[in-house]
């Protein structure tokens, strides 16, 4: 059985394929190769892949292009893992930056009517599970990095309204709403869209 390349070597290979410091130097990269890198269990490799595929000038070299399911099936679990593990390294975001990025993805999905609403229900459930199973740091990140900013959008706050009926989630739901209520109109709102 051939030996797998080291994490460092894999990251160097990914960066080189996507053009290193200059995305115009990227070569054509097969979708299958990118999916293989996405399936790495190493969070550093995943973080490097995420940085590359979220850069349009780099991602346009993937053939055929990644589809919605490819992005969704990779990005959301990776960001949730970052919130859980809080790695904060060169290629991997801390839980708070990952939470902020997750908000951007969720609000993009929310605004895009072609995204199945079942995807949003699934993400909501994943956040509920993450909050319930997480330690104090994870719970704080779910509240402060994700929910508070999601709830800047009143429609998304309403979407999470059923959390009020859950004995564990009711408190975090109310706390996240406080952020929205206490902010002066137009101040500090990152994702507001009614």
Q: Check residue 30 and report its DSSP letter.
A: E
Residue closest to 152 by CA, chosen among 123, 180, 110? 180
Task: Identify the pLDDT of residue 184.
Answer: 55
Q: Which residue has the higher pLDDT, 31 or 190?
A: 31
CA-based R_g, the chain, Å: 18
Task: Check pLDDT > 60 for residue 118.
Answer: yes
Please state the domain extents for the chain. Answer: 1-66, 95-194
- The pLDDT tens digits of the residues spanning 14-51 come to 999 999 999 888 989 999 999 999 999 999 999 999 99
23 contact partners, CB below 8 Å, separation of at least 6:
55, 57, 58, 61
**How many of the other CB atoms lie within 10 Å of CB of 165?**
9
Share of the chain above pLDDT 90, in %: 84
Task: Identify the pLDDT of residue 183.
Answer: 62
120 contact partners, CB below 8 Å, separation of at least 6:
106, 109, 110, 159
Record the pTM.
Answer: 0.88
Q: Which residue has the higher pLDDT, 193 or 74?
A: 74
């Amino acid at each position: 059985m051939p030996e797998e390349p080291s994490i460092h070597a894999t990251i160097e290979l990914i960066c080189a394929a996507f053009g290193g410091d200059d995305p115009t130097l990227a070569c054509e990269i097969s979708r299958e190769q990118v999916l293989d890198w996405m399936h790495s269990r190493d969070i550093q490799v995943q973080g490097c892949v995420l940085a590359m595929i979220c850069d349009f000038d780099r991602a346009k070299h993937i053939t055929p292009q990644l589809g919605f399911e490819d992005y969704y099936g990779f990005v959301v679990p990776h960001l949730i893992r970052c919130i859980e593990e809080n790695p904060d390294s060169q290629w991997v975001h801390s839980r708070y930056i990952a939470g902020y990025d997750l908000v951007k993805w969720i609000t993009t999905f929310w605004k895009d009517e072609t995204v199945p609403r079942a995807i949003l229900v699934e993400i909501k459930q994943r956040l509920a599970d993450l909050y319930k199973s997480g330690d104090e740091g994870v719970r704080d990140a779910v509240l402060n990095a994700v929910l508070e900013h999601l709830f800047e959008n009143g429609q998304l706050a309403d979407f999470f309204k059923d959390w009020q009926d859950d004995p564990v989630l009711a408190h975090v739901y109310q706390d996240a709403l406080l952020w929205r209520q206490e902010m002066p109109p137009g101040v500090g709102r990152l994702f507001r869209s009614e």
